[in-house]
Structure 1
Amino acid sequence: MPRTTTGATSGSSTERARPVIVELIRSLYRYNDWANGRILDASARLTCEQLLEGGGASFDSVRDTLVHTMGAEWLYLERWHGRSPRASFAAADFPDLATIRARWQTIERDTQAFVAALTEADLARVVEYTNMQGERWAYPLWQQMIHQVNHATQHRSEAAVMLTKLGHSPGWLDLLYFVDLVGGPDMAPHTPQRSSRPGEPRARLDTPQRSSRPGEPGARLDSESK
């Protein structure tokens, strides 16, 4: 009888799938950085008064929303390094967009360095931390990392609404729009057909029916929404 072995072979679907989680996390954090940048760029068109103007979202102003989103990214990165801060950033310490950008650039640099070094074993590791109320919590790292991006998405959406009401929409923030524009090799489609038109998103696989709405993603394969 032929010999049999247990476990995944080198060509098994299980083994081939393992690196996908690491690449998923890296791709999400590249997207997160890009989407945050869109919000910051739109915020740069506000006056100082508009930046602080009450907007009625989870946090009162665009400034306060940005500081909270930035602070949450910093907070989780601290937790992943084994520290449990008992306070986040105070919005009053960031009087203008320049101070927010300067601090966020440092946080983003450290976050991307952390993400770049991740392994599958790292992502499976359970990370314990104490929250600001003194409660102890523990989750696998991969869950916390996805949570952090999802949390940022919520508050980016709130900031986008306030910015749009002030006349400075950040434009499309969808993941697939990011893939079309700047996704990079780890997020690109398998068999893209490049357009000959300058600026055309690269992910078109045929000749899709384009939307008449400005900023509509270019990878639509039919008339349905992403």
Structure 2
Amino acid sequence: MKIDEIKLMYDYNDWADARILAACARVSPAQYAAPTSLGTGREGLRATMIHMLDNMWQWRITLQGYYKEALADEAAYDATELHEDAFPTFAALRERWMTEQRELWAYIDTLTEDTLNSKIRYVIPGAVREHVVWHILLDVILHAMQHRSEAAALMTMYGQSPGDYDFTLFLNERSAAGRS
């Protein structure tokens, strides 16, 4: 994987996130917090959005070495997860989301192609794992894609569809804006 390729993928991911966040901003506070589910495994729009944010954050801190050594116990791992009570409103979620996007880009901007293609070792309860850095970065995007779709289905039920997420649509918009 090359640096410009992963950056293009993250530009796309941010573009898709912007679409889902804009649609999310249009739902009512009650719809945002409602424990509605389509059998997706998450209890509503807020839970789905927080799960997406948590995944982005967890992988970033993992890539930056947070889980290099085992934490004291499993409760310490659980304490690193983001929870709904920390994001009672969409504004709170959006603020943290924007911060996390900036932090993730700051990390991506430090990568060299050697680092991007190297392996990282991390520890989770009961296991030591090792993956190539760009595989993890790709997983963040693919994981978000799954849950954006679930969130989009919920928002479409609320009359606030975020629209299409096609990569080619992103490329067309980017090209029309004079960016290659």
Q: Is the TM-score greater than 0.5? A: yes
- 1:98-129: CA deviation from partner (whole Å, max 9, x where unpaired): 00011111110011122123211011221111
- Write the distance in 1 (CA, Å) between the matches of 2:127 and 2:178: 41
Identify the match of residue 89 of structure 1 among 82, 96, 100: 82
Q: What is the Cα deviation at residue 134 of structure 1?
A: 3.8
- Write the distance in 2 (CA, Å) between the matches of 1:93 and 1:135: 29
Seen in structure 2, the aligned counterparts of structure 1 residues 136 and 185 have a Cα distance that, compared at 3 Å, is farther
Matching residue's letter, 1:128: R
Q: What is the Cα deviation at residue 24 of structure 1?
A: 1.1
| DSSP-derived class of the 2:2 partner | helix
2:26 aligns to what? 45
- 1:114-171: CA deviation from partner (whole Å, max 9, x where unpaired): 212321101122111123x442211010111111111111000110111111110000
Seen in structure 2, the aligned counterparts of structure 1 residues 153 and 93 have a Cα distance that, compared at 3 Å, is same
1:55 aligns to what? 37
Written as runs of structure 1 = structure 2, the 5 A alignment for 1:60-71 is 60-71=43-54
- Write the distance in 2 (CA, Å) between the matches of 1:146 and 1:62: 23
2:155 aligns to what? 163
TM-score by length of 2: 0.87
Q: What is the Cα deviation at residue 174 of structure 1?
A: 1.2
Q: Who wins on radius of gyration, i.e. which is larger?
A: 1
Gaps in structure 1 of 5+ consecutive residues: 1-19, 189-226
2:96 aligns to what? 103
Cα-Cα RMSD? 1.7
1:204 aligns to what? none
TM-score by length of 1: 0.70
| Paired positions, count | 167
Matching residue's letter, 1:27: L
Q: What is the Cα deviation at residue 22 of structure 1?
A: 1.4
Identify the match of residue 77 of structure 1 among 60, 78, 81: 60
Runs of 4+ aligned residues of structure 1 deviating over 4 Å after TM superposition are 183-186
| Percent identical residues | 31
Written as runs of structure 1 = structure 2, the 5 A alignment for 1:1-226 is 21-53=2-34, 54-56=36-38, 57-84=40-67, 86=77, 87-131=80-124, 133-182=125-174, 188=180
Matching residue's letter, 1:159: A
Seen in structure 2, the aligned counterparts of structure 1 residues 55 and 43 have a Cα distance that, compared at 3 Å, is same
